[in-house]
Amino acid sequence: MITNIIIVGVGGQGALLASRVLGALALRLGRDVKVSEIHGMAQRGGSVITHVRIGGHGGGPIRSPLVAEGEADAVLAFEPLEALRALPYLNPEGGLVITNTRPIPPMSVLTGAAKYPDGVMDSLAGSPGRRVVAFDAQALAERLNAPKAVNLALLGALAARPVKPGEFFALSVWEGAVADTVPPRTLESNLAVFREAYSVGSGL
């Protein structure tokens, strides 16, 4: 049983590091994993989307690195509008959305060519079959003096929820994956953000 996760954000937010933590998690579980990063105009603040596919326990190799529309078990979003754009990937029957609530206006909004749409969060929560965990991950990271650790905040909230029924990875395995991935000098601050977000995610 493959677990499919889509990560979306804008360039420079740390989406690629988040995908590498998930890859390390899969390796610690002894599972096959495929990570496909689509950078787009990431270096200029454009959209970034990453596909992560984690194989089931004792399963065979993953053949395709990309998640098909309607087959994502979870969407991890660094920004609400990017979460909304990624909804076509989400499994309509119980898919999980973990999203930062703080908007990051795209370039078209910053230049005045477009307006950031109203009601994005309402649209995200609009489906009765969709599970949505929304919180200000940026504020949480800033409160712990790690403003660049929004990625670890979102992963902490993701770790607190079963991505699909019956699939819940132990906190110790998650923390090991973080330790495998982030630079040693920032490990403690990243783990602090991760653990705080885990507590927040458990209560939402």
Q: What is the mean pLDDT of residues 72-82?
A: 94
Q: What is the mean pLDDT of residues 172-197?
A: 97
Among 33, 38, 113, 30, smallest CA distance to 82 is for: 38
How high is the pLDDT of residue 105? 74
Distance CA 132, CA 80 (A): 11
Sign of CA dihedral 22, 23, 26, 28: negative
pLDDT at 40 over 80: no
Q: What is the mean pLDDT of residues 81-90?
A: 93
Residues 104, 108, 110, CA angle at the centre, nearest 5°?
60
Burial tier of 74 (Cβ tally within 10 Å: 0-12, 13-18, 19+) = buried
Identify the band that residue 42 occupies on the pLDDT scale cut at 50, 70 and 90.
Answer: very low
Average pLDDT for the chain: 89
Q: How many residues does the chain have?
A: 204
For the chain, domains (ranges, CATH) are 3-113+120-203 (3.40.920.10)
Q: What is the mean pLDDT of residues 140-162?
A: 96
How high is the pLDDT of residue 59? 67
pLDDT in tens, 86-128: 999 999 888 999 999 998 876 667 777 778 788 888 888 877 7
Residues 157, 15, 19, CA angle at the centre, nearest 5°?
75
How high is the pLDDT of residue 171? 93
Distance CA 182, CA 196 (A): 17
pLDDT at 150 over 90: yes
Of 25-29, 58-62, 70-74, 152-156, which range is least confident? 58-62
Q: What is the mean pLDDT of residues 31-48?
A: 73
pLDDT at 71 over 80: yes
96 membership: H or E segment, kind and range: strand 96-100
pLDDT at 61 over 60: yes
Identify the band that residue 57 occupies on the pLDDT scale cut at 50, 70 and 90.
Answer: confident
Most confident of 43-47, 105-109, 170-174: 170-174
How high is the pLDDT of residue 116? 79
Question: Distance between alpha carbon 60 and the CA centroid of its chain, in Å?
Answer: 25
Among 183, 173, 192, smallest CA distance to 24 is for: 173
